[in-house]
Amino acid sequence: MIDWSKKKIVVLDRDGVINHDSDNYIKSPEEWIPIAGSLPAVAALNKRFKVAIATNQSGIGRGYYDESVLDAMHEKMAKLLDEHDGHIDQVEFCPHHPDDGCDCRKPNPTMLKRIAEKFDASPEEVVFVGDSSSDYHCAQEFGCDFVLLLTGKGLKTLDKLAGENITVEKSLAKLVEAINSENKQ
């Protein structure tokens, strides 16, 4: 059970958590489509926590798009979040191909470390919310709590991680509902 009163930062994976994912990669702002309820959920999280993103973007390393297109996707996300009075406090991404051997690609915890350092937080003050086993293993490696969402790759990941003691929620919106109802008790 996560003690939300001790948390400073909620780190979100992007594809499959905030926006719909695709096996063919999200390669343009037009393909970046928010999951229903995710943007108001981010805005609700902003009221209590710093909210950051840690995302593998190997489509850059694979040559499917470049960093200017990634910036345009994030500008679209920021504009849509602004309509809900929401924002992202920090975005960390790994642009590398999986074969590059970088130290920033999840499940390596480099992006989580950078986010925690920026906001002067210990791993105990961070929750990572994702939909993949690499997100889970990244959280384990960093030493923070993890929430598996069943959006994106979440259902497949739940099968892969069967037997692990994981907090599971249907969606980012449902996670926010659970956090808010815990507060009222």
pLDDT band for position 4 (cuts 50, 70, 90): very high
What per-residue confidence (pLDDT) applies to 48? 97
CA dihedral over 102, 60, 146, 184, signed as positive or negative: positive
Distance between CA 75 and CA 52 in Å, rounded?
A: 15
pLDDT band for position 181 (cuts 50, 70, 90): confident
Among 15, 21, 135, 145, the one annotated catalytic: 15
Mean pLDDT of all residues in 146-158: 97
Under a CB-based contact definition with an 8 Å cutoff, are residues 54 and 112 in contact? yes
Q: Is the pTM of this model over 0.85?
A: yes
Say if residue 132's pLDDT is above 70.
Answer: yes
Is 97 marked as binding a ligand?
no
Is 103 marked as binding a ligand?
no
Q: Which residue has the higher pLDDT, 185 or 174?
A: 174
Is 138 marked as binding a ligand?
no
Is 145 marked as binding a ligand?
no
Say if residue 168's pLDDT is above 60.
Answer: yes
Say if residue 184's pLDDT is above 80.
Answer: no
Is 66 an annotated catalytic residue?
A: no
What per-residue confidence (pLDDT) applies to 185? 57
Say if residue 135's pLDDT is above 60.
Answer: yes
Is 102 marked as binding a ligand?
yes
Q: In what order do the strands lie in the sheet with 50-56?
A: 90-94, 50-56, 9-12, 126-130, 145-149, 167-169
Residue 117 tokens read as 């350092």
Among 3, 13, 71, 82, the one annotated catalytic: 13
Residue 87 tokens read as 């924002």
pLDDT band for position 28 (cuts 50, 70, 90): very high
Kindly report the CATH number assigned to the domain that includes residue 146.
3.40.50.1000
Determine what percent of the chain is predicted with pLDDT higher than 90. 95
Say if residue 173's pLDDT is above 90.
Answer: yes
Residue 53 sits in which domain range?
4-184
pLDDT digits (tens, 9 = 90+) for 76-119: 999 999 999 999 999 999 999 999 999 999 999 999 999 999 99
Structural domain count of the chain:
1
Tell me what the pLDDT averaged over the chain comes to.
Answer: 96
